Amino acid sequence: MSARIVCIGECMVELRERPDGTLTRGHGGDTLNTAVYLARLGEHVDYATALGDDPWSDEMVRHWRDEGIGTSLVRRIAGRLPGLYVIQTDTSGERRFVYWRDSAAARTLFDQPDVADLIDALSGYDLLYFSGITLSIYGAAGRTALFAAVDAVRVRGGRVAFDTNFRPRGWPDRDVARATYREALARADVVLASTEDLEPLFGPDGTHELAAHAGHAECVLKFAHPAVRIGSVDAGSVIAAPPVADVIDTTAAGDSFAAAYLAARLRGFSPAEAAAAGHRLAGIVVRHHGAIVPRDAMPLDILLPAALPHEA
């Protein structure tokens, strides 16, 4: 029987700016992107968020169901709208985001009258996945409720995965951000971190923040160059990514890596093999525009590595 996974966070309307200034519309968000790729890799995954009662929210839910994502934990809030962001990409595929999300429905997920029922429902999953962006959209009470759900998952024997995705604009008070991240790291069984997240948050030696959690968590540290270190911050195995020459858009590279890594680990692959699978999927995603690539762009053998990855 496959594991039951729940991803928690926010999905927004996505507008991608073309070179001529015109826009194309889609939708995305870090944990939603991961949920889509998990579902495409054959995992049983549900998404927990709040949306409005508008046509764009309707469209999102239809799309998620078409992707095979469960939507029983999607709350619909009358009079609210989803957030919105615009992506601009430069000639090397690096992206810039501009957001409109302060009153987005997703921020109210843990403010609803049925929050106790939601926490109970979340506690029944085998793996709960959330990110630093997830944490940033809730207030103090919402984060307390989320951590209650995280604790309940672990009490019932489930596991928790935390992706450190750190966006400074989401955290006006950096001290609150650091304290909240430490709470999340202390509860996680799997940490998907990056130097690009930890150093702006904790300082030049930010990666050593993971050291306090290496004893209880499987730590995967992504570097600015395409490689990850698994295990010890100073002496773990380094798994390099194959070079990708034709990068178009790096949106969702990390989200897709997380999906393939977690799916591979759930299927019994070693951390090194899981990292190789993550690199392979991310290498496909960055060759396409937007967060979600066409279905036919994903090869069927992502979780069947042809050879053990290189370790250094």
**pLDDT at res. 17:** 87
Cβ density class 106-137: b for 16+ within 10 Å, e for less: bbbbbeeeebeebbebbbebbbbbbbbbbbbb
- CA–CA dist 296, 305 (Å, integer): 19
**pLDDT at res. 14:** 87
Structure tokens given for 129: 């996945």
DSSP 123-178: TT-SEEEEEHHHHHTS-HHHHHHHHHHHHHHHHTT-EEEEE----GGG-S-HHHHH
Catalytic annotation on 111? Answer: no
The conformational region for residue 21 under phi > 0 = left, psi -120 to 50 = alpha, else beta, is left
What does the pLDDT look like over 163-214, one tens digit per residue? Answer: 999 999 999 999 999 999 999 999 999 999 999 999 999 999 888 888 888 7
**pLDDT at res. 1:** 62
Domains recognised in the chain with CATH numbers: 4-297 (3.40.1190.20)
**pLDDT at res. 310:** 44
DSSP state of 311: B
Residue 306 DSSP SS3: coil
**pLDDT at res. 18:** 84
CB 278 within 8 A of CB 55: no
**pLDDT at res. 35:** 98
- CA–CA dist 163, 125 (Å, integer): 18
DSSP 248-263: ---TTHHHHHHHHHHH
Q: How many CB atoms lie within 10 A of CB 251?
A: 26
- CA–CA dist 13, 27 (Å, integer): 4
pLDDT less than 70: residues of the chain: 1, 91-94, 232-235, 305-312
Q: How many CB atoms lie within 10 A of CB 154?
A: 15
**pLDDT at res. 294:** 92
pTM exceeding 0.75: yes
**pLDDT at res. 312:** 45
Catalytic residue, candidates 114, 117, 255, 301: 255
- CA–CA dist 52, 105 (Å, integer): 6
**pLDDT at res. 111:** 95
